[in-house]
Amino acid sequence: MEQNGLLQKINKLVPGAILEKQRFGRSAELCLWVESEKLRELCVALKNDPAAELDWLENFSAMQLEDALVFTYFIRSTRTKERLILRSSVELTSPLERIDFQSLAGVWGMAEPQEREIAELFGIRFVDENGASAEYAKTASNHWKGFPLRKSFVFDGDKGTRGGPR
Amino acid sequence: MNGKFYLSTVGKVLDWARSQSLWYFSAGTSCCSNELLATLGCRYDLERFGCLPQVDPRQSDLLIITGAISYKAAPHLKQLYDSMLSPKLVLAVGSCANCGGPFAPDVSYSVVPGANRVIPVDVYIPGCPPRPEAIMNGLIALQERLRGTERASTKNK
Amino acid sequence: MIESLKTDLTQWEIGPYDHSLPGPMLLRLRLDGELIVAGEVETGFLHRGLEKAFERQLWRSAIPYADRLDPEGAVFGELALCLAAEEIAALEVPSRAQSIRVILSELTRISAHMGYIVRVARAVGSETMVHYVLRDREKILDLFELATGARVSLNFLRFGGVQADVTEGFIERVLEICELLRIRLKEYNDLFTYNHAFIKRTRGIGTIAPEVARTFGVTGPNARASGISFDVRKEHPYSGYDFLDFEVPIGRRESQHLGDANHRFLLRLQEISTSIEILKQSAEAISPGPFALRKPEESFEVPRGEAYIRIESSRGLLGCHLVSDGGAYPARIQFRPPSLALLSVLPQLVRGIRIEDLPVVLATLDIGIAEADR
C-alpha cells in the first residue's frame, strides 16, 4: 500500500496520533512521529488491519537526543512487504528517576526482551494498558548507580572489588 | 606463592606428575573461548599436554577463564572456583580476563577489570584473542612453574 | 501403594558456567522426573556495556568493538556498522571492496556453521566429528589470517571499503577451499549426518512451529528450517548480493517434523553449500580496482544523520541502528541481535522435552549469548 494510502487509513483509525511525517535518514522509508499517548492504540490498529498487517516488530531502539529519549519502532509485516518506522519521545525530567512509557509487549512478541533491556539501561518503566508495569528480571545486576545509556551517566572508575592494583 | 605445593622430594615427583595431567574446566564466555576450542582441535592439540577437558569443576585441577567477567557473573565464578578441590590452578586467557581489556573501567560499566579481582590467577595469557600458540605457551609456563623449572620469562624479577 | 505416591516437581538451576549452555546464562527448570515442565531463562551474565563503549571511543574504534559483538561472526558486526555509516555519509564502496566483503562474510558464515556443527556434535556425544570439523575450520581461519592478519577479530572493514587489498594468492586459495569443502561436506554426511544415533537424538525434538517463529521474530536458519522463506540477502540485498546467483535453502513444508533439531542441522549444512557457491562466484568475478575510495589512514567522522541496516548474519537478521550527531564520538549505535528472539522462544521449546534432550535443543538453536547480552 503506498504511503499516502497508509497515512489516510491511520488518520481514520486513530485520529490525532500522527504528529509529523519525515524521511528516515537517507532511505526511502517512511517515519512517523506518534504521540506517546496514542502509541499503543495505533500499533494495535496497524497490527489488526487486514491490508497492512504489521505484525512483526523487527527492532526497538532507544536513544537520547539532547533532553529527550526517542524510541524508534521498526515494524513490518511477515506476509506482505510493508514496512514502517514509528517514533515517539518522552522528556527526561531528572537523571535519576525512572520515566513511564507505554509498553508494547502485549502487541508484539519481540518487544519484551528489548523493553527489558531498555528499561534497565535507560531507566524507563514500561506500563501496560492496565497501568501495571512488568517486574522484569534484571538484565544485569544493578551494581551501578543511575542508568548507563543516558548521557548523564558518570563512570565511577575502578571499583576495586578486591583491592588489586589500579 | 611460587606455585609449588610440596617442598620435599616426594612432593617434587608429585608436582611433576600433576603438571603432566592438568585436567581443566573452561569457564568460557566470549571470543577467547573460540580460540580455546581451536587449541583443542587437531592442529594445536591441547590434549597432548595432558589437559583433558572436564565438565565438572570438582574433577578438575585447572580453571581456564576465557573472556570477560561481568559483575553479575563474578559471584558465580567465585563459587565455581570454591567448588574445585585443592590443589587447583587458574589460567586467565585473553585481555578481558587479565585486566578488563577493551572493556576497561573507563569504557565499560559492567566488566570486572580482571579475573584476579575475583579469584587468584596463576598465569595470564595476553592477547585479544591470543593465538592457540600463545595459549599453549601460557599452559607450558604454568606447567613449568608447577614443576619448579621456571623459564626466564616467567620468573619474578 | 505406588498409586498413592505423590511426587513433586524438582527445581533445578543450570548455569551460568555450564558446558551444555551456549554461554553464560541461567536456566531455571522445573522437572517432573525427567520431563521438563517449565523453564525460565536469565541472561545478562555477559553484559559488557558494548553499546556504551561505542559512545566512549572515537569513530575509528567502533569497528574493533563491532567485531566483538558476535565473536563467531566478527565480520557481520563490522559489515552492519560500515554499511550503516556508508549510508549516512553517502560513501560509495568500490566493487572490489564489495566482493572482498562478500567473500569474508561467506567465509565467516561457513566458519560459524562449522563451530555450530562442533557444538551439536559435542552435545550428541560425537567427539570424532568435532575434530574433523575443527581441522577444516583451521583452514578457513588460515585464510582470514592471510587476508587480514588475524584469525578471529578481523578489524578489516573500514567505512568506504576495506583496510587493504587482499594478499596475492588469496583468491586462488579461496577457490581451493571451495573445492576442499565440497569434498568435506560429503565426508561429514557419511560420518555424522545420516548416522542413525544422531537422527534418533535430534528428530522431533525442540520443534519451532512457523507461527511461533513469526510471533517472536525468529529469523535466519532456524526460521528457514521451519519453512519460513526469509533471507535478508534476497529481501534487502546489500554489498553486491543482488548480482550473485544463489538459492537460499528452506525447509520443505511436506517433510515430517518440520522445524525440529534435525532440520535445523541439515539446513545449516545446506547453507554451507550455498556459501561455497557464493564464494566461487565472488572469487571468480572479482574485478581489479581500488579497495577503498578514501585513504584508510585518514580519520573519518560520520556526518550528522541516522541509518538502519539489516544484514544476514550466520544466526539470523542482524540490524544496526546508527545515529550520528556529527561529532567525534558516535551518538548511538544499537544492534538488533538475532539471538534475542531465540531466548524468548526458549521457555516454550524446553517445555515437554526430557532433561537429556536439553543440550541437543540448546546446541541446535545456535544462540549467541555474547550478542544477546552485548
Nearest by CB to B109, from A148, A160, A162: name it: A148
CA distance C374 to C369: 8
Nearest by CB to C135, from B27, B33, B43: name it: B43
3-class DSSP assignment, residue A84: strand
> Which of B12-16, B50-54, C191-195 is predicted with the least confidence, judged by mean pLDDT?
B12-16
B157 pLDDT exceeds 90? no
**Identity at B128, one-letter amino acid code:** C
Give the pLDDT of residue B156: 54
From C243's Cα to the closest Cα of chain B, the distance in A is 33
Residues 84-143 of A with CB under 8 A from B: 140-141, 143
From C306's Cα to the closest Cα of chain A, the distance in A is 5
Q: What percent of chain C has pLDDT over 70?
A: 99
C-beta neighbour count of C106 within 10 angstroms: 30
**Chain B interface disruption, residue of C54, C68, C69, C153, most B CBs within 10 A:** C68
Give the pLDDT of residue A2: 59
**Chain A interface disruption, residue of C306, C318, C349, C371, most A CBs within 10 A:** C306
CA distance C219 to C225: 10
pLDDT tier at B153, thresholds 50, 70, 90 = low
3-class DSSP assignment, residue B137: helix
- Average pLDDT for residues A111-129, to the nearest whole number? 83
- Average pLDDT for residues B90-119, to the nearest whole number? 88
Contact B31 C71 (CB under 8 A): yes
- Chains touching chain C through at least 3 C-beta pairs below 8 angstroms are A, B
A3 touches chain C (CB under 8 A): no
b (16+ CB within 10 A) / e for B128-148: bbbbbebbbbbbebbbebbbe
CA atoms within 13 A on the CB side of A123: 23
Nearest CA to B5 out of B122, B118, B98 is that of B122
Give the pLDDT of residue C288: 86
**Chain C interface disruption, residue of A23, A30, A73, A78, most C CBs within 10 A:** A78
CA distance B49 to B54: 15
Q: How much is the ipTM here?
A: 0.86
A127, β-bridge pairs: A102, A133
C141 touches chain B (CB under 8 A): yes
Sheet holding A68-76, edge to edge: A18-23, A30-34, A83-91, A68-76, A56-65
Strands C26-32 and C35-42: what pairing?
antiparallel
Give the pLDDT of residue A93: 77
Nearest by CB to B80, from C17, C115, C369: name it: C17
Choose which CATH entry (3.40.920.10, 3.30.460.80, 3.40.190.10, 3.40.50.2300) describes domain A3-93.
Answer: 3.30.460.80
Q: Please give the backbone phi and psi of residue A89, each rounded to the nearest 5 degrees, phi first.
A: -140, 160
From A64's Cα to the closest Cα of chain B, the distance in A is 18
Rounded to the nearest integer, the mean pLDDT of chain C is 88
pLDDT, tens digit (0-9, with 9 covering 90-100), for A51-107: 777 888 888 998 888 888 889 999 888 777 788 888 888 888 777 777 888 888 878
Give the pLDDT of residue A165: 35
- Average pLDDT for residues B86-109, to the nearest whole number? 88
Give the pLDDT of residue B1: 40
Cell numbers linked to C21: 549452555
- Average pLDDT for residues C322-342, to the nearest whole number? 89
C-beta neighbour count of B14 within 10 angstroms: 14
pLDDT, tens digit (0-9, with 9 covering 90-100), for A133-161: 666 555 555 577 778 888 877 776 655 44
Rounded to the nearest integer, the mean pLDDT of chain B is 85
Are the C-beta atoms of C291 and C164 separated by less than 8 Å? yes
- Chains touching chain B through at least 3 C-beta pairs below 8 angstroms are A, C
> How long is chain C?
374
- Average pLDDT for residues B48-54, to the nearest whole number? 89
The CATH number given to B9-150 is 3.40.50.12280
CA distance A93 to C159: 37
pLDDT tier at B5, thresholds 50, 70, 90 = low
Give the pLDDT of residue A131: 66
Question: Considering just the CA atoms, what is the radius of gyration of chain A in Å?
Answer: 18
pLDDT tier at A163, thresholds 50, 70, 90 = very low
Q: A27: which chain C residues are within 8 Å (Cβ-Cβ)?
A: 87, 307-308
Residues 208-237 of C with CB under 8 A from A: 214-217, 228, 230
Cell numbers linked to C164: 587493504
Q: Which residue of chain A has the CA closest to B121?
A: A164
Q: B109: which chain C residues are within 8 Å (Cβ-Cβ)?
A: 49, 52
Nearest by CB to B111, from C49, C135, C370: name it: C49
| Residue A103 parent element (H or E) | none
CA distance B129 to B94: 6
Higher pLDDT, residue A128 or C217: C217
**Identity at C323, one-letter amino acid code:** V
pLDDT, tens digit (0-9, with 9 covering 90-100), for C12-47: 999 789 888 888 999 999 998 888 999 988 888 888
**Identity at C74, one-letter amino acid code:** A
**Chain C interface disruption, residue of A22, A59, A121, most C CBs within 10 A:** A59
Instruction: Catalogue all structural domains in chain C, each as residue range(s) with its CATH number.
Output: 2-373 (1.10.645.10)
Torsion of CA B13, B16, B17, B23, to 10 degrees: 150
Contact A144 B109 (CB under 8 A): yes
Are the C-beta atoms of C150 and B38 separated by less than 8 Å? no
Q: B31: which chain C residues are within 8 Å (Cβ-Cβ)?
A: 68, 71, 152-153, 370
B154 pLDDT exceeds 80? no
| Residue A23 parent element (H or E) | strand A18-23
3-class DSSP assignment, residue C246: coil
Angle at C371 between CA C36 and CA C71, to 5 degrees: 110
